[in-house]
């Protein structure tokens, strides 16, 4: 019985030391689908360097392009750089049109479009906040001016009072 246990233990030890063959792996081919994202990012960098007049001409040129997903993104990028709230809203609308498109080209652009939608929404919130702050500052300045006018009027009244109080 001792021998059987010894032989069995030896077999277990030897089987544990044996090298297991590698599991068969299937080869995976990575397909790099060319997209316009690199070209659109380069285009955005060019737009940022343009003067407002050049940007206006570029917008006119873009408006003549057919309305494909990549051209909608180009138009949105140009509109967003005009620093106008209305144009920023138009840019967001252009991007939402791309998000609603189910074409292959639009699907490839959706990660970039989602990023731009988020950025443009943040820009619009900032612009709205800045406008609100500007209105509040003007209102505060108007109140300060009114109080200064009242103070000056009180000083004038005080000067015109007879000095017979003492």
Distance CA 98, CA 36 (A): 14
48 domain residue, yes or no: yes
Predicted pLDDT of residue 84: 85
117 domain residue, yes or no: yes
Q: Is the backbone of residue 153 left (phi > 0), alpha (psi -120 to 50) or beta?
A: alpha
103 domain residue, yes or no: yes
Quickly state the pLDDT bin for 151 (edges 50, 70, 90). very high
159 domain residue, yes or no: no
Distance CA 110, CA 101 (A): 9
Q: Is the pLDDT of residue 119 over 70?
A: yes
Q: Considering only CA atoms, which of 112, 117, 124, 119 is closest in space to residue 70?
A: 112
52 domain residue, yes or no: yes
> What total of structural domains would you count in the chain?
1
| 69-115 tens-digit pLDDT | 999 999 999 999 998 888 999 999 999 999 999 898 889 999 999 99
- Residue 24 DSSP symbol: P
1 domain residue, yes or no: no
166 domain residue, yes or no: no
Predicted pLDDT of residue 94: 92
Q: Is 19 helix (H, G, I), strand (E, B) or coil?
A: coil
| 3-50 tens-digit pLDDT | 777 676 666 676 666 666 666 666 655 445 556 888 999 999 999 999
Tokens of 150: 């009242």
Residues spanned by the domain of 135: 35-151
147 domain residue, yes or no: yes
Q: Is the pLDDT of residue 51 over 70?
A: yes
């Amino acid at each position: 019985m001792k021998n059987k246990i010894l032989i069995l233990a030896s077999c277990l030890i030897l089987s544990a030391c044996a090298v297991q063959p590698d599991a068969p792996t299937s080869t995976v081919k990575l397909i790099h689908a060319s997209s316009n994202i690199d070209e659109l990012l380069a285009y955005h960098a060019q737009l940022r360097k343009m003067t407002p007049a050049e940007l206006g001409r570029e917008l006119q040129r873009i408006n003549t392009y057919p309305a494909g997903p990549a051209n909608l993104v180009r138009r949105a990028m140009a509109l967003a750089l005009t620093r106008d709230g209305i144009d920023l809203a138009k840019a967001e609308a252009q991007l939402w049109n791309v998000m609603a498109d189910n074409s292959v080209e639009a699907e490839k652009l959706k990660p970039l479009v989602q990023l731009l939608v988020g950025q443009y929404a943040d820009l619009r919130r900032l612009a709205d906040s800045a406008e609100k702050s500007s209105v509040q500052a003007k209102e505060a300045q108007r109140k300060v001016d009114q109080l200064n006018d009242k103070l000056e009027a009180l000083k004038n009244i005080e000067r015109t009072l007879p000095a017979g109080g003492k």
